[in-house]
Amino acid sequence: MRLKDKVGIVTGAGSGFGEGIAKGYAAEGASVVINDINEQAGRRVAREIEDSGGKASYVFADVTSDGDVAAMVDETFSLYGRLDVVMNNAGYTYVNRWLLDVDEDEFDKVFDVNVKALYLSAKHVVPRFMELGGGCFLTVASTAGLRPRPGLTWYNASKGAAITLTKSMAVELAPHNIRVNCLCPVLGDTGMTDRFVGGEVTPDVMSKFVSTIPLGRMSTPADLANAAIFLADPASSFLTGLALEVDGGRCI
């Protein structure tokens, strides 16, 4: 098992990519804190991991709340006594549309969930990693931050910020043996797919999106889990500052 005796937090783990990553970590031997603002979904994932023989606990936190993130990290140490990996997966977007039709509240929520949450995660996790002599700080960014599509300008910008701060944090935290990387998936079948495509998810709409992906399919939770496991594995100990494109060639 590649993550035996490791402890990880996965935010937004109640569905989609986060669920896949959390289950992948548990299957590789990690104890996983399942975080999601949807308590029912988060508890379901934790229960399914435990039913399959893994170790998991659900911990509620709004990742945009300083107090909630602090409490989640404290609870992780209360439960498992350490923390090796934090996977910042929680994300948000609005329905695909003209950039000036996005109102201020939606703009703020995109940057709160996709960027401010990373600041809060770093604020409460990095000091713990420093005390432990190192750690792995991971984020689910997006190909949107590398090769933007029209209609998602502010979302694209938030993911560009996530990629830039990944690289900057990697340099600044390297002396503390803290590795910082992010994953850049292409469109996948998640709870936000209809927002990305701007409406009903029909076979015709999806075929147009998939036609832009050289390998001919969307990202899956398993794709993200495999990449996230590798970047948390000690085997990747010399990798930091990556924006790993898990995109079937979309960014080529």
Active site residues: 155
Q: How far apart are CA 11 and CA 124, in angstroms?
A: 14
Residue at token pair 């936190």: 61
Instruction: Assess contact for 152 and 145: CB atoms under 8 A.
Output: no
Counting every residue written for the chain, the total comes to 252
237 phi, psi to nearest 5 deg: -65, -15
Please state the φ and ψ torsions of residue 47, each to the nearest 5 degrees.
-65, -40
Residue 165 CA to residue 104 CA, distance in Å, equals 23
Closest to 118 (Cα-Cα) out of 71, 181, 184, 44: 181
- Work out the number of other CB atoms within 10 angstroms of the CB of residue 200: 8
Q: Give the H or E element holding residue 88.
A: strand 85-88
**What's the CA dihedral at 96, 100, 103, 106 to 10 degrees?**
40
Task: With CA atoms as reference, report the closest residue to 28 among 58, 57, 53.
Answer: 53
For residues 204 and 52, give the distance between their C-alpha atoms in angstroms, rounded to a whole number. 37
